[in-house]
């Protein structure tokens, strides 16, 4: 796949950054080139070789100066280009953008991604919920995208695997809660916080589409967002959500009214120095926790993907056998 993507993203020698702000993938790639970087055929961010104008062998370096503030500015400027590039890759993989709140000016709205473009009675629907901070739709950890590869830090491996297994997809964008216009940053009413954003998507897109069976993968703060959904839409969850996979999620103890349900359908893959799937803790009144096979929080979604899809498919088989 990456060789095809590379042809689209291949740096060109004479590109110049336009005067307007970065608003799409093409401009983001131009900006990356101006910083001296491009993605190679494996989706790894490389320094451009001045002699060839192509990605070389050297990867991103945070330390470009003795000034710590300058290093951080360099990193943030580069990281700001990542969302538009990932959006383009989602679209290249068949996902479509839906603006929310519905029926509002797209220029002053947030958006999510889904496949098909309009969800309707999905036999199997997979919902991906990222964590807090600066990550946007299609990302688990932008630091991994920059320092390792697009596959390591993006949700693209989950998209591809879900497509192979016949799932429809919905990708959230819960940190996308404001737009800049009229000279200032403005909140997007109706989706102005991650909690409101997630509930809006669930109420106005997921529920009306009447999916038959739903699985969720949620990273970090996405765990809190998921538990909030369970609390507000408990009947739907008990009826339709058959598997919830957390990756090193932030969450409190499940409330008693839905504890048994969650303990039955949920597993949390946590950062640990033990091998993948090693039990970390298990009690009657808590969500099962197993090792994600990596010691670092931001790596857990990538390192546990095979185990997570095995878990989801086993839960789906259990669900179908009960019918």
**Which two tokens mark 224?**
């809190």
pLDDT tens digit string along 49-93? 888 888 878 887 777 767 778 888 888 888 899 999 999 999 999
Residue 99 to residue 102: CA distance in whole angstroms: 6
Nearest to 82 by CA among 17, 171, 147: 147
Residue 257 — very low, low, confident or very high, per pLDDT cuts 50/70/90? confident
Residue 321 to residue 323: CA distance in whole angstroms: 5
Supply the pLDDT for residue 36: 85
Supply the pLDDT for residue 71: 85
Supply the pLDDT for residue 282: 67
Sequence ranges of the domains in the chain: 1-93, 95-321
Let me know how long the chain is. Answer: 323
3-state secondary structure of 9: helix
Q: What's the mean pLDDT in 299-314?
A: 98
Nearest to 170 by CA among 118, 210, 208: 118
pLDDT tens digit string along 7-25? 555 544 444 433 444 458 8
Residue 180: which H helix or E strand, with range?
strand 178-181
95-321, which class in CATH? alpha beta
What is the sign, positive or negative, of the torsion defined by CA atoms of 311, 317, 321, 322? positive
Residue 6 — very low, low, confident or very high, per pLDDT cuts 50/70/90? very low
Residue 99 to residue 93: CA distance in whole angstroms: 19
Neighbour count for residue 215 (Cβ, 10 Å): 26
User: pLDDT: is 322 or 193 the higher one?
Assistant: 193
Supply the pLDDT for residue 322: 80
Nearest to 248 by CA among 210, 209, 293, 187: 293
Among 39-48, 53-62, 83-92, 108-117, where is mean pLDDT lowest?
Answer: 53-62
Supply the pLDDT for residue 9: 54
Q: What is the pTM of this model?
A: 0.91
What is the sign, positive or negative, of the torsion defined by CA atoms of 68, 175, 129, 30? negative
Residue 316 — very low, low, confident or very high, per pLDDT cuts 50/70/90? very high
Give me the percent of the chain exceeding a pLDDT of 70.
90
Residues 6+ away with beta carbon under 8 Å from 27: 17, 18, 20, 21, 84
Supply the pLDDT for residue 13: 44
Q: CA dihedral in degrees (223, 224, 227, 233; nearest 10)?
A: -110
Supply the pLDDT for residue 18: 38
Supply the pLDDT for residue 252: 67
3-state helix, strand, coil in the chain (%, to 5): 40, 20, 40
Residue 163 to residue 30: CA distance in whole angstroms: 31
Phi (first) and psi of residue 294, to 5 degrees:
-150, 150
Q: Residue written as tokens 């995208």?
A: 145
């Amino acid at each position: 796949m990456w060789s095809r993507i590379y042809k689209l993203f291949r740096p060109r020698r004479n590109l110049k950054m336009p005067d307007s702000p970065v608003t799409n993938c093409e401009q983001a790639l131009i900006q990356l080139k101006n910083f001296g970087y491009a993605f190679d055929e494996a989706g790894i961010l490389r320094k451009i070789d001045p002699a060839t104008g192509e990605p070389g062998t050297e990867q991103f370096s945070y330390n470009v100066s003795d000034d710590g503030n300058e290093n951080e500015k360099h990193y943030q400027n580069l990281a700001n280009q990542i969302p538009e590039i990932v959006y383009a890759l989602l679209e290249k993989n068949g996902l479509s953008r839906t603006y929310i709140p519905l029926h509002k000016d797209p220029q002053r709205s947030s958006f999510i991604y889904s496949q098909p473009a309009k969800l309707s009675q999905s036999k199997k629907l997979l919902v991906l919920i990222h964590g807090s901070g600066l990550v946007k739709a299609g990302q688990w950890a932008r630091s991994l995208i920059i320092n390792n590869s697009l596959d390591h830090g993006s949700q693209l491996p989950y998209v591809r695997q879900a497509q192979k297994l016949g799932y429809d997809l919905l990708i959230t964008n819960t940190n996308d809660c404001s737009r800049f216009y009229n000279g200032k940053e403005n909140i997007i009413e109706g989706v102005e916080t991650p909690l409101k954003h997630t509930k809006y998507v669930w109420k106005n897109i997921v529920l009306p589409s009447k999916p038959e069976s739903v699985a969720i993968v949620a990273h970090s703060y996405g765990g809190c967002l998921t538990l909030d959904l369970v609390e507000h839409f408990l009947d739907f969850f008990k009826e339709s959500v058959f598997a919830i996979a957390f990756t090193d999620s932030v969450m409190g103890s499940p409330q008693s009214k839905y504890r048994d349900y969650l303990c039955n359908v949920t597993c949390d893959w946590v950062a640990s120095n033990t091998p993948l799937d090693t039990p970390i803790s298990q009690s009657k009144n808590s969500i099962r926790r197993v090792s994600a096979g990596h010691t670092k929080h931001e790596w857990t979604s990538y390192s546990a993907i095979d185990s997570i899809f095995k878990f989801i498919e086993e839960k789906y088989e259990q669900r179908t056998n009960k019918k």
